[in-house]
């Protein structure tokens, strides 16, 4: 839970600073940058994840 509190605090500080510097356009750009960073992290970490075999619907080990 501490990471949620730290993340929300940092997000509030960052968005307030972005708004003070560039208004709503700055806040939107900040949000886009955070989203792009998360997407790039996901894409780079995806290749390190173990691959799973695809199972056709209804053909599992029920």
- The whole model's pTM is what? 0.70
pLDDT at 50: 82
* Confidence band for 58, pLDDT divided at 50, 70 and 90: low
Percent of the chain with pLDDT over 90: 71
Count Cα atoms within 13 angstroms, Cβ side, for 54: 2
pLDDT at 56: 67
> In the predicted model, is pLDDT for residue 8 greater than 60?
yes
- 31: enclosing H helix or E strand: helix 2-46
d(CA 15, CA 1): 21
d(CA 56, CA 7): 39
| Average pLDDT of every residue of the chain | 89
């Amino acid at each position: 839970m501490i990471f949620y509190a730290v993340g929300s605090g940092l997000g509030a500080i960052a968005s307030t600073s972005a708004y003070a510097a560039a208004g709503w356009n700055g806040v939107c750009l900040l949000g886009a940058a955070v989203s792009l960073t998360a997407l790039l992290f996901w894409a780079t970490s995806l290749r390190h994840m173990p691959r799973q075999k695809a199972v056709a619907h209804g053909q599992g080990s029920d």
